[in-house]
Structure 1
């Protein structure tokens, strides 16, 4: 048996834009099903919002997202989670960082750290905090 963990992001009207942005950074395919596709939303103005969406790439990147309808409570919160992207190639992680950093607030620049050849943290324009790093062997 196999278990996979996928980050699921909740938005209020920005899910499609976020998924398209993450696809432009990580590649892969965007799949979006709207409330209209499912038969309509309680609020007609939200009918094109995402009821289920994802970006899935052949390189293993996978993230899901949806727009919480306005009649349901939603609070983006402060640091409710981070999305971690870890690779073993500094060039690949650096290239992803450059794309993801556009329009973002850098919390920790991508640079060598005590535990990784490269480590950085940023919050993107959608309010999602990302941690990117290059994996290093653990030597206990």
Structure 2
């Protein structure tokens, strides 16, 4: 088993450009899944925006990013990141989730998602937002 935490950056329509830029700086592989790719398009104008993306380089650099949908609050520079906690098994992820959720505000309960066996989002008692999931084939 292994668990990994990664900075997960939040944008409004600029995630792809930011990921391309970070790849130009740090090198590595770019992976992007749009809302359209995932069949999760609440607003057709956002179908080409990034639902999940990352840059991973061979020397250890790793950053994730997405475009916050227009229906959710977002202001540049505020709520600019999450901490992504990704594990290899549901059992491992669930154990961390149970501990992190003590005193937390759960935004999305830990449950199966189209892109992961388990995914959840919470803001812990210190105000840090965590996205927790089981790694899948997109995990660079």
Map 1:56-135 → 2, pairs under 5 A: 56-77=56-77
Structure 2: gaps spanning 5 or more residues = 82-140
Q: How many residues align?
A: 81
Q: SS at the partner of 1:55? A: strand
RMSD: 1.9
> How far apart are the structure 1 equivalents of 2:60 and 2:70?
32
Q: Which of 1 and 2 has greater Rg? A: 1
Higher strand share: 2
Structure 1: gaps spanning 5 or more residues = 82-140
1:77-120 Cα deviation digits (max 9, x unpaired): 35967xxxxxxxxxxxxxxxxxxxxxxxxxxxxxxxxxxxxxxx
TM-score w.r.t. length of structure 1: 0.53
TM-score w.r.t. length of structure 2: 0.53
Shift of 1:5: 1.9
> How far apart are the structure 2 equivalents of 1:27 and 1:6?
17
Choose between structure 1 and 2 for higher RCO, CA contacts under 8 A separated by at least 6 residues.
2
Q: In the alignment, which residue of structure 1 is the partner of 2:46?
A: 46
